Copies of this chain bind each other. A is one copy, B any other.
C-alpha cells in the first residue's frame, strides 16, 4: 500500500530557488535568507476529494505566507478501503515530511446530492483522522471564506483564486487545481489565525473555525 501511495502522490513544480533544493536544505535557506524574524508557523491546507485530494503547505511568517510545498494525492481505481487508506496515509506522509502544526480543510455546505456528499464525507473523514492522529489542530472553512481571504471577494471563480494564489506565493508556474485550492485554504487559515490573535502571535489552541460532526 505504501509504495502504491507513493507513486500516486505528486508534487507541483516548485517556483523558487529554495524549493528546488532538498527539503532540509530548503528549510534552512527559507529560514535564513527568505523570511523575516517572527512567527513562522507551518500551515497545511487540505482539499479533500474522492478521486484527488489536494494539499498545500505554506509558512506563515507573520507578514505573509511563503510557499513550501503542494501537490495532490490520487486515489486510483482500487476498492473503497484501499482508496481511503491512500488518502489517510498520503496526508500523514505530507505532515511527517513538512511538519505543519495546524491544518485547514474545506467545509462543505452543499454537495450536489446525497451520494456525492457520502463519497466526499468518506475522503474527508480519512483526511481529518490523519491530521488528528498526527496531533494537528484542525479548522474548517467554507469556500466563500477561502475565496474572501485570497481574492477579497466570496464570489471569485477557481481561476481567479488560482491566479491570486500564484501572485501571493510568488509562484511562476500554475499548481494543479486541487493543489491550488489547498494552498488557498492554507492561506485562509493563516489569515484567520492571525486576525484572531493579538499582535499576530499564534498559539496551538487558536482556531478560525469550529468543527462539529
Contacts and interface: CB of A to CB of B under 8 A. Distances in A.
Contacts of A124: 118, 121-122, 125
Contacts of A88: 129, 132-133
A115 interface: yes
A149 B19 CA distance: 57
Contact of A122 (B115, B116, B122): B122
A116 B118 CA distance: 8
Contacts of A51: 213
Interface in A68-95: 75, 79-85, 88
Interface majority SS on A: helix, strand, loop or mixed? helix
B75 A213 contact: yes
A180 interface: no
Given A128-B81, A212-B80, A111 B122 contact: no
Given A114-B114, A132-B81, A122 B119 contact: no
Given A80-B211, A117-B111, A213-B84, A126 B123 contact: no
Contacts of A82: 132
A96 to B, nearest CB: 16
A112 B129 CA distance: 25
A131 B140 CA distance: 26
A118 B85 CA distance: 18
27 contacts: A79-B138, A79-B210, A80-B140, A80-B212, A81-B128, A81-B132, A81-B211, A82-B132, A84-B128, A108-B118, A111-B114, A112-B114, A115-B117, A118-B124, A119-B121, A120-B121, A121-B121, A121-B122, A121-B124, A122-B122, A122-B124, A122-B125, A122-B128, A125-B126, A125-B129, A126-B126, A126-B129
